[in-house]
Amino acid sequence: MESKSNVLMQRYELGRLLGQGTFGKVYYARSAITNQSVAIKMIDKDKVMKTGQTEQIKREISVMRLARHPNVIQLFEVMASKSKIYFVMEYAKGGELFNKVAKGKLKEEVAHKYFKQLINAVDYCHGRGVYHRDIKPENILLDENGNLKVSDFGLSALAESKRQDGLLHTPCGTPAYVAPEVIKRKGYDGAKADIWSSGIVLFVLLAGYLPFHDPNLIEMYRKISKAELKYPSWFPPEVCELLSKMLDPNPDTRISIANIREYGWFKKGPNTKSKRPEVENNTDSSSSTSHSDQNDETDGVAPDAKDESVVPTSINAFDIISLSAGFDLSRFFDESFQKREARFSSRLPASVIISKLEDIAKQLRMKIKKKAAGLLKLEGFDEGRKGVLSIDAEIFEVTPLFHLVEVKKSNGDTLEYQKILKEDIRPALQDIVWVWQSDQQLQSQQSEQQLQVDDQQQQQPGITPPQF
């Protein structure tokens, strides 16, 4: 914040924090000249330069200047100081589409509206040689009228980014939404990859959960590669047909946007007989991969039911490899995905870990819900900045006296979750934790960075970073 009066560049009055990303923060602001509400993304120059992301930021600016569409977040202007870059963007008052889906699956007519607007935005971008490459509900915002706005072009690519084979080669995106050809790292068509991700979004809107999900990242990639898909019973046949063409694992035969537009369901939408709420609770019976709360056993914990209702999931050596820092493929993807989860190992029995998690829930005044397959859910009672905070803790049994535990945010504000994880959960668990995976990774990264610094000092003394 550039001045004592919280007025940026004498042009924008800064307000509350809206969110935080890899390189900076996003604030609500109001123009001191026109009184218009805007969102200002503040990017730290040092972080960008140290991580070698200068070209990525320049590309994001170029992409957002190209995109002028009712369903794409508009970039009004870019400003800079010695230490910061400021993106002044359209303010989406409705927040993330993710927050709406987190409450349950959407009504078909609402999902149709959002999907149609998403395809319009994606088609517009493709027509200007822009490929988003990270389409997901967290990167889709809603304005005050409930209209969709595609945002966050940080991982996008321009047509000139293609190699001589006419394909893109940088693996990026968010694991659950990424197309199978991106995972294979043999080159991919950016437009076809965006169509796959848009199909995943449509499935999530109508189902309330992800189509390809597995705690083992490599197993999830296997499901994605084979497109092993089960449709919930309430999906209309025409939607299933459309999704089967959008989620075709072969990009050469995957449906194009032009053909998506020709589908009757896309053009006309569902036949609605009566008005119903936008969001439904996931009470319908669905496939075993549903993430609804219908299997919750209790709100709160019965003293004599600690061990019986939660049975840790058994994992084998292959699972452990996929969870280890060295083989964690998620490092190729969105940083925000990684920050939502933390893993630790313990040499104590599952009953002790469960008891400790119950104590933490009581201390934080959160209710705890027990689910099958070693999953516990901690939920707050009060609405936060992005809804009620919900934290999942899943226990995996390696041996009866060795467990892996994954803690991650499933709903609510990421900053609130990170604060609780750092200030409450980690300290409360220190007497039962053998090691946190993040600590291992940090030590490894620090050692590697120190070696690089020492090497640079020996070879090229006196080098100063370039101006940006």
Query: Is residue 283 domain-resident?
Result: no
Q: What is the pTM of this model?
A: 0.58
Work out the number of other CB atoms within 10 angstroms of the CB of residue 235: 17
Q: Which amino acid is at 112?
A: H
Q: What is the CATH number of the domain that holds 420?
A: 3.30.310.80
Same domain as 439, residue 313: yes
Same domain as 172, residue 146: yes
pLDDT at position 307 is 40
Q: Are 48 and 54 in contact (CB under 8 A)?
A: yes
How far is it, in rounded angstroms, from Cα 334 to Cα 44? 18
Work out the number of other CB atoms within 10 angstroms of the CB of residue 96: 20
Cα dihedral sign, 99-102-108-111: positive
Three-state secondary structure call for residue 211: coil
* Structural domain ending residue among the three candidates 60, 90, 120: 90
Q: Are 97 and 142 in contact (CB under 8 A)?
A: yes
Token pair, residue 168, equals: 């893109």
CA distances for 309 relative to 84, 94, 286, 301, 406, angstroms = 51, 38, 22, 10, 18
Same domain as 429, residue 385: yes
pLDDT at position 4 is 41
% of the chain beyond a pLDDT of 90: 40
Same domain as 264, residue 125: yes
Work out the number of other CB atoms within 10 angstroms of the CB of residue 112: 21
Same domain as 428, residue 415: yes
Same domain as 100, residue 42: no
Q: Which amino acid is at 168?
A: L
Nearest to 294 by CA among 366, 369, 373: 369
Q: Are 201 and 140 in contact (CB under 8 A)?
A: yes
The count of domains in the chain is: 3
How far is it, in rounded angstroms, from Cα 13 to Cα 15? 7
Going by their DSSP bridges, the two strands 341-346 and 435-436 should be labelled as antiparallel
Question: Could you tell me which residues are annotated as the binding site?
Answer: 41
Low-confidence ranges of the chain (pLDDT < 70): 1-5, 22, 271-340, 371-373, 438-468
Query: Is residue 466 domain-resident?
Result: no
Nearest to 99 by CA among 421, 393, 385: 385
* Structural domain ending residue among the three candidates 90, 113, 138: 90
Would residue 359 show up in a list of annotated catalytic residues for this protein? no
3-class DSSP string for 278-302? CECCCCCCCCCCCCCCCCCCCCCCC
Query: Is residue 154 domain-resident?
Result: yes
How far is it, in rounded angstroms, from Cα 126 to Cα 38? 26
pLDDT at position 27 is 94
Q: Are 348 and 401 in contact (CB under 8 A)?
A: yes
Please spell the DSSP secondary structure of 440-468, one letter per residue: HHHHHHHHHHHHHHHHHHHHSTT--PPP-
Q: Which residue range(s) make up the domain with 30?
A: 7-90
Query: Residue for token digits 């750092």?
Result: 422
Same domain as 435, residue 366: yes
Pick the catalytic residue from 134, 319, 334, 413. Answer: 134
Alpha carbon distance, N-terminus to C-terminus of the chain: 19
Element spanning 130, H or E:
strand 130-131
3-state class percentages of the chain: helix first, strand second, coil last, to nearest 5: 40, 25, 40
Q: pLDDT averaged over the chain?
A: 79
Question: Could you tell me which residues are annotated as the binding site for ATP?
Answer: 41
Q: What is the CATH number of the domain that holds 77?
A: 3.30.200.20
Same domain as 403, residue 315: yes
∠175-393-281 over CA atoms, to 5°? 75
Work out the number of other CB atoms within 10 angstroms of the CB of residue 64: 22
Q: Are 438 and 410 in contact (CB under 8 A)?
A: no
How far is it, in rounded angstroms, from Cα 296 to Cα 294? 6
Same domain as 323, residue 230: no
Query: Is residue 155 domain-resident?
Result: yes
